[in-house]
Amino acid sequence: MKRLILLLSVIAMLTSCSVVKRTYVRDYGERIELIKTNFPEIYDLYRRGSVIIDDVYTYEKDGKERVGIHYHYR
């Protein structure tokens, strides 16, 4: 019985975390402003040519709009 409750609680936790709706930002100017404001250290690496920014997106968490990015090093 304990295993079943544990399994159901893990499934509920995983499904609730994975229902994040992302809105991808496609406008270059808006992307750069969001990165500059929210991730200044990554923006500096981007300007130096050390990283490539793949995606910039916004999502809502705890009632606040947040910004996320996907990037990788050269």
Note down pLDDT in tens along the chain; length 74 residues: 778 777 777 777 766 555 679 999 999 999 999 999 999 999 999 999 999 999 999 999 988 999 999 999 99
Residue carrying the six token digits 């793949």: 54
Distance CA 45, CA 68 (A): 16
Confidence (pLDDT) at 9 = 77
Confidence (pLDDT) at 19 = 65
Confidence (pLDDT) at 60 = 94
Q: Taking a C-beta distance cutoff of 8 angstroms, is the pair 46, 63 a contact?
A: no
Distance CA 74, CA 53 (A): 10
Confidence (pLDDT) at 59 = 95
Confidence (pLDDT) at 6 = 75
